[in-house]
């Protein structure tokens, strides 16, 4: 099984060297960084547009040690103009970023877009063999999944949409909205950067096509398409190592020495979605209001050239450079220039030196699918502050950033003052918090997870699939097992496909299924609205049809008065028990919060249980182990399986092990479980395989 990647941009660009020969240089960007190592390891084919040197149709890369091939697509100048510059960047790009006044919908450009997508799809089909997986990338190739599906109904096809998916009232302005959705729904797995984008996409499918949708899924005929929020990460270790390199440290110090002021850094592709004019206006307002900052604060704006032939981008460049000139003309004094403007890209080493030198990083797009610059700064900075637009997809992932509204010029100006006055301890705590989040969604994990989940059943351990022939009693935890761990428990929506898999098991002639959780049963039913599903809540205190014992509220109130109040601590009152979550506490402070919770005196008849970044206080005499034993006693003759991820699930693992059943651990860590699955997506793939063995 090989991987076939399709993208508009190629992973290596041809460059003619001094010797007159063509050499291949790795493209800068997240996609190449993410997929090139996988392609080098696994082999396969990458299909992309031959923007330059179109005479070279096939090349094996990397140049020094070729491991995979690139098939380069030659496009006519008309198709480049109409499809790439026209429909892709003149219609889909502005529409997706909510700039409807810039969107132009032209039939001629749509026809060219279809032709280009057909060309890419045919190139993929020509080089594919049975069992190969296809992974298509971004808005330029949205029709490709449907075209491949029609030719290969059984193919495994993934798609990642890298820009925002807009709200339905914006998307419906596109005259070819049905055709675009039909093309995308040829995929088995569609990835987007944020839950908001996936919700908008599901609404578009329901309202435009009338398709059946559920949490993270769309029903297309006999197929179920999964639609998931999977924000792309960065190679955190690489940026941390570069930032710590003595050469980078020295380079950063020279930057600061040359400025001799505090440094505000902005790095953007020159695009109207990035909010550069609004940011410059905010900096001008800042200098106008805070005269003491003049001569003490410098804004460094790196504007990376983009789509230079497009009139809209030429006008934007003129506007930005005019604003830079006006600010410098108005405020320059005594050899100090307020704005240093660089109209060029920076190589990675130079970029990281700028990240390390900056006192604050301003990432203030008016709309952005994600924004990797924000993540790179968080991984590289030692003591800087990240100011991040609430309209960037990355804002959901970086809790340590200072959120700003790029449309609020005065508010952004005021936030600059706060950032520059922020105590060092708070800066470091915020950076630690962001780095912890970044490590949980590393770039390589993003790639591996997507490909594994795209493979679906084929990636599961065969010994688990063989169990399907037996009558199974399948018992699952909820958080971390049927749903990804969420920063806030109320946001823990089930893994896409979980509802369908559980529904299939509930109607299976041989199998039984139940959920055993630390949550209240009502909470789980709100996520999994399946009336026939047995849910045992509160670690075995709450059973269907049985009221729990009266809650000991006075004990809970006394306990709550002793909990630490550090930033990021969240107390979850479950009425009968209380859980204290510290997942969102800065990493440097988590151990002290944990110690404080472990030292809270216990009342008679109460116990403290340990979970992932949580301590829960509950009456003694309960637990998932006891609940699982009771469920097994009630279903003799069924082969018991328990699937869980947390330390609170260990007693359940021991219970099924003692009964001769199977225990399955989700994720890493020491465990008594016999088998591991990687994540909730793998759990859902397994449950789906048991529910629908065909």
Question: Which pLDDT tens digit goes with each residue over 443-500?
Answer: 888 988 899 899 988 888 888 998 988 999 999 999 999 999 887 888 899 999 999 9
CB neighbour class for 693 (10 Å; exposed up to 12, middle 13-18, buried from 19): exposed
458-691 CATH choice from 3.20.20.70, 3.40.718.10, 3.40.50.1000, 1.10.8.60: 3.40.50.1000
Q: For position 694, what pLDDT does the model report?
A: 62
Q: pLDDT tens across 349-378, in order? A: 999 999 999 999 999 999 999 999 999 999
Percent of the chain that is helix, strand, coil (3-state, to 5): 45, 20, 35
Query: What share of the chain has pLDDT > 70, as a percent?
Result: 100
Residue 87 has pLDDT above 80, yes or no: yes
- Nearest alpha-carbon partner for 385 in 347, 352, 345, 425: 425
Q: Where in the chain is the domain with CATH 3.40.50.1000?
A: 458-691
Which residue bears the tokens 């997929």?
A: 35
Rounded to an integer, the average pLDDT of 521-535 is 95
Q: Measured between alpha carbons, how far is 431 from 375 in angstroms, rounded to an integer?
A: 10
**Higher-pLDDT residue of 654, 584:** 654
pTM summary value: 0.86
Burial 348-377 (b: 16+ CB within 10 A, else e): eeebbbbbbbbbbbbbbbbbbbbbbbbbbb
Alpha helices in 584-672 (DSSP H): 587-598, 624-633, 650-658
What CA–CA distances, in Å, run from 493 to 162, 187, 226, 503? 22, 22, 14, 16
In the structure encoding, which two tokens stand for residue 61, read together? 């890369």
Q: pLDDT tens across 236-272, in order? A: 999 999 999 999 999 999 999 999 999 999 999 999 9
- Name every residue whose Cβ is closer than 8 Å to that of residue 335 and which is 6 or more positions away in sequence: none
Q: How many CB atoms lie within 10 A of CB 172?
A: 13
Query: What share of the chain has pLDDT > 90, as a percent?
Result: 80
CB 572 within 8 A of CB 583: no
Largest interatomic CA distance in the chain: 87
Helices 372-380 & 236-244, crossing angle to 10 degrees? Answer: 50
Beta bridge partners, 45, equal 4, 69
Rounded to an integer, the average pLDDT of 97-114 is 97
Beta strands in 600-684 (DSSP E): 606-611, 614-619, 639-644, 662-666, 675-677
Residues classed as catalytic: 477
Phi-psi map region of 683: left, alpha, beta (phi>0 left; psi -120 to 50 alpha): alpha
CB 415 within 8 A of CB 283: no
Rounded to an integer, the average pLDDT of 515-541 is 95
236-440 CATH choice from 3.50.30.10, 2.60.40.420, 3.40.50.620, 3.40.50.2000: 3.40.50.2000
In the structure encoding, which two tokens stand for residue 439, read together? 């490590």
| One-character DSSP codes across 309-361 | TSHHHHHHHHHHHHHHHHHHHHH-BTTB-SEEEE-S---HHHHHHHHHH-SEE
Number of helices (H), then strands (E), in the chain: 25, 28
Rounded to an integer, the average pLDDT of 107-136 is 97
Q: Where in the chain is the domain with CATH 3.40.50.2000?
A: 3-229, 236-440
CB 585 within 8 A of CB 568: yes
Rounded to an integer, the average pLDDT of 404-433 is 94
Q: Measured between alpha carbons, how far is 89 from 83 in angstroms, rounded to an integer?
A: 8
Q: pLDDT tens across 604-646, in order? A: 999 998 888 899 998 998 999 999 999 999 999 999 999 999 9
Q: For position 42, what pLDDT does the model report?
A: 85
Residues 117, 121, 123, 129, Cα dihedral to 10°: 170
Fold designation for 3-229: Rossmann fold (3.40.50)
What CA–CA distances, in Å, run from 279 to 40, 102, 361, 407? 41, 20, 12, 9
Residue 166 has pLDDT above 90, yes or no: yes
Rounded to an integer, the average pLDDT of 427-450 is 90
Average pLDDT, the chain: 94
CB neighbour class for 670 (10 Å; exposed up to 12, middle 13-18, buried from 19): exposed
Q: For position 575, what pLDDT does the model report?
A: 87
Strand, helix or coil for residue 620: coil
Q: For position 31, what pLDDT does the model report?
A: 81
Q: For position 12, what pLDDT does the model report?
A: 93
Which residue bears the tokens 């941390």?
A: 240
């Amino acid at each position: 099984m090989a991987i076939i990647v399709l993208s508009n941009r190629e992973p290596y660009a041809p460059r003619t060297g001094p010797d007159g020969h063509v050499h291949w240089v790795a493209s800068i960007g997240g996609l190449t960084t993410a997929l090139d190592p996988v392609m080098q390891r696994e082999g396969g084919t990458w299909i992309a547009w031959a923007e330059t040197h179109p005479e070279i149709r096939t090349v094996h890369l990397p140049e020094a040690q070729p491991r995979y091939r690139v098939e380069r697509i030659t496009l006519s100048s008309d198709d480049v103009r109409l499809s790439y510059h026209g429909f892709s960047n003149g219609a889909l790009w502005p529409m997706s970023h909510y700039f409807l006044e810039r969107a132009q919908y032209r039939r001629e450009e749509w026809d060219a877009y279809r032709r280009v997508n057909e060309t890419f799809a045919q190139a993929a089909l020509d080089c594919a063999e049975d069992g190969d997986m296809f992974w298509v990338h971004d808005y330029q190739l949205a029709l490709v999944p449907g075209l491949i599906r029609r030719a290969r109904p059984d193919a495994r096809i993934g798609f990642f949409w890298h820009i925002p998916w807009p709200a339905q009232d914006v998307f419906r302005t596109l005259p070819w909205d049905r055709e675009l959705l039909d093309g995308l729904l040829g995929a088995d797995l569609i990835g987007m950067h944020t839950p908001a984008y996936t919700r908008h996409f599901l609404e578009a499918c329901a309202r435009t096509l009338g398709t059946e949708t559920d949490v993270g899924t769309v029903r297309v005929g006999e197929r179920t398409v999964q639609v998931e929020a999977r924000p792309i990460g960065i190679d955190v270790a690489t940026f941390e190592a570069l930032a710590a390199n003595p050469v980078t440290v020295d380079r950063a110090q020279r930057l600061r020495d040359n400025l001799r002021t505090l440094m505000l850094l902005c790095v953007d592709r020159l695009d109207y979605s990035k909010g550069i004019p609004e940011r410059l206006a905010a900096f001008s307002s800042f200098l106008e209001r805070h005269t003491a900052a003049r001569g003490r604060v410098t804004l460094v704006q790196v504007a990376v050239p983009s789509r230079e032939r497009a009139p809209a981008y030429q006008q934007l460049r003129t506007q930005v450079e005019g604003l830079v000139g006006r600010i410098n003309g108005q405020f320059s004094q005594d050899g100090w220039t307020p704005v240093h403007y660089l109209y060029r890209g920076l190589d990675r080493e130079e970029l990281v030196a700028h990240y390390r030198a900056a006192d604050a990083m301003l990432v203030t797009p008016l709309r952005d699918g994600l924004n990797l610059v924000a993540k790179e700064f968080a991984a590289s900075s030692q003591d800087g502050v990240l100011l991040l637009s609430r309209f960037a997809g990355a804002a959901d992932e970086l809790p340590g950033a200072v959120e700003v509204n790029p449309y609020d010029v005065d508010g952004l100006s005021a936030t600059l003052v706060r950032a520059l006055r922020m105590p060092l301890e708070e800066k470091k705590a915020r950076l630690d918090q962001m780095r912890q989040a970044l490590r949980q969604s590393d770039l390589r994990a993003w790639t591996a997870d997507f490909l594994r989940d795209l493979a679906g059943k084929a990636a599961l351990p065969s010994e688990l699939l063989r169990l399907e022939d037996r009558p199974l009693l399948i018992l699952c935890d909820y958080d971390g097992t049927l749903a990804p761990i969420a920063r806030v428990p109320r946001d823990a929506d089930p893994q896409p496909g979980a509802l369908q898999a559980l529904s299939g098991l509930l109607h299976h002639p041989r199998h039984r299924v139940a959920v055993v959780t630390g949550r209240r049963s009502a909470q789980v039913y709100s996520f999994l609205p399946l009336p026939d599903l047995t849910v045992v809540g509160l670690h075995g205190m709450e059973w269907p049809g049985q009221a729990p014992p009266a809650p000991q509220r006075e004990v809970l109130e006394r306990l709550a008065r002793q909990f630490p109040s550090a930033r990021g601590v969240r107390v979850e009152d479950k009425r009968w028990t209380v859980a204290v979550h510290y997942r969102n506490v800065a990493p440097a402070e988590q151990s002290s919060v944990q110690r404080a919770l472990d030292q809270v005196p216990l009342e008679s008849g109460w116990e403290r249980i340990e979970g992932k970044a949580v301590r829960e206080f509950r009456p003694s005499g309960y637990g998932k182990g006891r609940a699982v034993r009771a469920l097994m006693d009630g279903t003799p003759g069924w082969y018991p399986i328990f699937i869980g991820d947390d330390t609170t699930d260990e007693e359940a693992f021991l219970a099924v092990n003692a009964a001769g059943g199977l225990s399955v651990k989700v994720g890493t860590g020491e465990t008594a479980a016999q088998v591991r699955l990687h994540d909730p997506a793998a759990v859902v793939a397994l449950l789906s395989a048991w529910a629908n063995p065909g």
